[in-house]
Structure 1
Amino acid sequence: MKARGIFKQQYVLILVLCFCFTSRGNANPEYLPGKDSLSTSTQQQAITFIDSIKILTPSTFWPNIKPALFLQNIKINIHNPISIYPGNGTNFCGYGALTYLLLKDDPLGYAKLLLQLYKDGKAQFGNSVFNPSAAVKKEAGLMKFKGILDIHPAEQMWFLALADHYKGYINLFNRKYNSGDEDTRWASVNYAKFNGMVRSLLRYKVKANGSDLIRPHIGNLYQYISKRLATGMVVLYINNRIVHKKNHVQIKVSFPTHFVVAESVKEANGIITLVYWDYGGRTQMQLSPAFFKRIIFGITYCTKKQVDVN
């Protein structure tokens, strides 16, 4: 028991040290710089492309993914990006928010990326090359008891591939996938890791304010977020446990656990109304400015990059 206690203390100490070096919201892990671009795609372009594919043959790389269900899943996501669902009990929410941004910005790129990953077992997009492990390729299509994710093999493949590729300090002690690791720290996303994924994959300029432990130092959060929603996409890193806690006064420990994509924010009569993407749908929340400030640990502001003429 003493040895276990010593190991636990060492584990916490290492995590804290890792946090000190990597948790800054604007941290950009070792991703290669890419050329700025305003090129993007429309939803109609993606629909035309995916509708032209009538039959998909089985993949030798993903033996447990049913081709027809996979193709149908991609079509649903292109037609209705809000439907992206990270699954019950998983740690996929960061990858869900990332995918929602991708579908809003480049749905055609999303479709081609997933099809290439399915057909070739690996794919390149942005500054990242995905080549998932054999364990990940075997697991995709087999998940159970995760809600609608059970019948969404495209999400299973994509989220597993993202978690397998991107690593942050939070994944330090669990880097190799074993069945069920979608519910563990293997799949977890800390704030710097999320911002690094956005910078690596998407054609966005990212400004991040916040961290895994310390809330952003912003006087009026409502005005700050409202102003940025007028010119770009905003992802909020929040403490979801506080949001769903019945007695907010009794909260003792307060850490961020969840990523949501803000859609709109309004203030009237001292109440803030926030509408955001979360787990396959839009959610509306009404809360006081003080509570609004309490739940937000990170604000990621994404705007389109300018063209690199060099």
Structure 2
Amino acid sequence: MMTAPLKTTIKNIVFITLLAFLELPGRAITIPPGDSARRSTPAQALQYLGSIKDLQQSKWWPNVPPAQLLNNLRTFTIEPLAFYEGKTTNFCSYSALTYIPLTYDPLGFARFMIELYKNGQANFGKNQLKPSKPVRMEAGLLRYKGSLDINPAGQMWFLTLADHYKGYLNFFNRRFQKGDENTFWASTNFAKFNRMLRRLFKGTIKAQGADLFRPAIKDLPSYLETQMQKGLVFLYLNNKKLYRKSHKQSLISTPTHYVLLTNIRKLPDGNIEFEYWDYGARALQQLSPEFLKNIIYGVSVWTPRVSK
């Protein structure tokens, strides 16, 4: 019979093996500046999580079981692209930017989450995140959100970010009440999104666009392709138009969604192959250059600070 430590060791080996497959070309995003931009590795994060024994139930997060928290954090480490904001929520911006810590510093993210769980507050980037009591009481209770239902760690992270960072869209709803994950309380305007990138992660931000006006970029597909060689490209786009059955103009055109661009290329027929991370999975569509330009309102390029 296998002992508990042996089972843990075998499980970690399986996790790391799966991770190796996830990093094959075409399966994951390449870190543009190379390994020097990575602050820690998935193997280090898994080792840290495996070293935590007898994590006690947090008094700050009474509806987040410790065993489930650790299991969620292991999953985040080996499958960063599976991170999912849940159905009907306004958590898409927080989900998109979460790819950064899970890719560049999974150990730092795991340590932050454990400290947040134990103490009810923790430092991340340039901010001390101290979620309010209603938020802490709600984490672990969100339901009917798809896989987010069984992801209390994700609920903790999303609710904490939404509670801390505010923009003008949150002006009339700044204090969490049950169900606010679906309302303007959790929404993110373009300036707020870029501010979160600057405050949370070490790197530089180059942003073009606005909430109501599209970026003035002449050849948008070529620009996006070039920027992907420099850093991670986040897009603020009109999601309703993107998923319309017919790509036609609508009377109301506003950005509603954040995604992470994973690949883009021009096709021989003149259309654009547009691949992006959305709702915990990769989506691939072929769009005309005109339609692509019509749906994109903001382009944020995050370039990590490379260690010397």
TM range (shorter): 0.7 to 0.9
1:76 is aligned to 2:81: no
Q: Which moved more, 1:49-58 or 1:63-72?
A: 49-58
After superposition, residues 99-138 of structure 1 pair within 5 angstroms as 99-138=98-137
* 1:250 Cα offset (Å): 4.7
| Partner AA of 1:247 in structure 2 | S
After superposition, residues 223-302 of structure 1 pair within 5 angstroms as 223-269=222-268, 270-302=270-302
Report SS of the residue matched to 1:303.
strand
2:38 touches 2:104 (CA, 8 Å); kept in 1? no
Moved over 6 A (4+): none
Partner of 2:217: 218
Q: 1:216 to 1:67 in 2, by over 3 A?
A: same
Q: 1:88 to 1:223 in 2, by over 3 A?
A: same
1:38 touches 1:203 (CA, 8 Å); kept in 2? no
After superposition, residues 79-90 of structure 1 pair within 5 angstroms as 79-90=78-89
TM-score in terms of structure 1 length: 0.85
* 1:67 Cα offset (Å): 1.2
* 1:38 Cα offset (Å): 5.4
Provide Cα deviations, 1:40-76, integer angstroms capped at 9, x if missing partner: 1122221222222243210010011111111111110
* 1:39 Cα offset (Å): 6.6
Partner of 1:196: 195
TM-score in terms of structure 2 length: 0.85
Q: Distance in 2 between matches of 1:171 and 1:71?
A: 31
Q: Distance in 1 between matches of 2:108 and 2:100?
A: 12
2:247 touches 2:291 (CA, 8 Å); kept in 1? no
Report SS of the residue matched to 1:298.
strand
1:47 is aligned to 2:46: yes
Q: Distance in 2 between matches of 1:101 and 1:288?
A: 29
Q: How many residues align?
A: 272
Report SS of the residue matched to 2:199.
helix
Q: Distance in 2 between matches of 1:125 and 1:104?
A: 16
| Partner AA of 1:128 in structure 2 | N
Question: Which gives a bigger RCO, structure 1 or 2 (Cα 8 Å, sep 6+)?
Answer: 1
Report SS of the residue matched to 2:98.
helix
> RMSD between aligned alpha carbons?
1.5
Provide Cα deviations, 1:3-51, integer angstroms capped at 9, x if missing partner: xxxxxxxxxxxxxxxxxxxxxxxxxxxxxxxxxx957112222122222
Q: Distance in 2 between matches of 1:272 and 1:250?
A: 18
Provide Cα deviations, 1:78-124, integer angstroms capped at 9, x if missing partner: 11000110010000000001111221121111111111100110000
Partner of 2:181: 182
Q: Distance in 1 between matches of 2:225 and 2:54?
A: 44
| Partner AA of 1:297 in structure 2 | Y
Unaligned 5+ segments in structure 1 are 1-36
Provide Cα deviations, 1:187-216, integer angstroms capped at 9, x if missing partner: 000100000001001112000011100000
| Partner AA of 1:102 in structure 2 | P
Partner of 1:3: none
